[in-house]
Amino acid sequence: MKTVYDFTVKDRQGNDVSLAEYQGKVLLIVNTATGCGFTPHYEPLEAMYKEMKDKGFEILDFPCNQFANQAPGSDDEIHEFCTVKFGTEFPQFKKVDVNGETADPLFAFLATEKPFVSFGKGLKGLALKKFSDMNNKTFGDKAYIGWNFTKFLVDREGKVIARFEPTVDMKEVRAAVAAELAK
């Protein structure tokens, strides 16, 4: 059975990083953007990271510019923005595509393991669905991710156990991470 540990990704400098390096840790893998309405998610993500990293938790940050051009900077510019504005310390990787023919294989795998269900029924969810549907028309059946700040929770064995759309309250994400760490 395939796990996230079977994948290799690129760090910000373009070097290969085997996700097997994170074996035994609880992971939250996130596609991010610096100019999105959900960019403030960096703040609770960093708070969660600081509190839980010593318990075997890692956040893996993958910037993506496929949603309304909301991460247009270089890898270094994005990293500087995140560290200066939000004080992020968790690993940030090279910018990736998460949809279409050029989608990073890791994100295709994550979304196949935990497919998109909905953004929720609230006003924010309905509005985001409209933008997402327009954006993802070009990707057809390879529209794996609906928008920035989609989060995948991975257990200590490398299995994808949950998917959180950006409209999910960060308290719910935090509770799921804490519960997984407690196992």
pLDDT of residue 57: 98
CATH number at residue 108: 3.40.30.10
Domain of 91, in residue numbers: 4-181
Token output for 139: 């990707």
Q: How far apart are CA 179 and CA 171, in angstroms?
A: 12
pLDDT of residue 93: 97
Give the pLDDT mean for 104-115: 96
Q: How far apart are CA 64 and CA 71, in angstroms?
A: 6
Give the count of domains, the chain.
Answer: 1
Q: What pTM was estimated for this model as a whole?
A: 0.95
CA end-to-end distance (rounded Å), the chain = 22
Catalytic residues: 36
For residues 138 and 144, the model is more confident at 144
* Amino acid sitting at position 58: E
Q: How far apart are CA 95 and CA 64, in angstroms?
A: 5
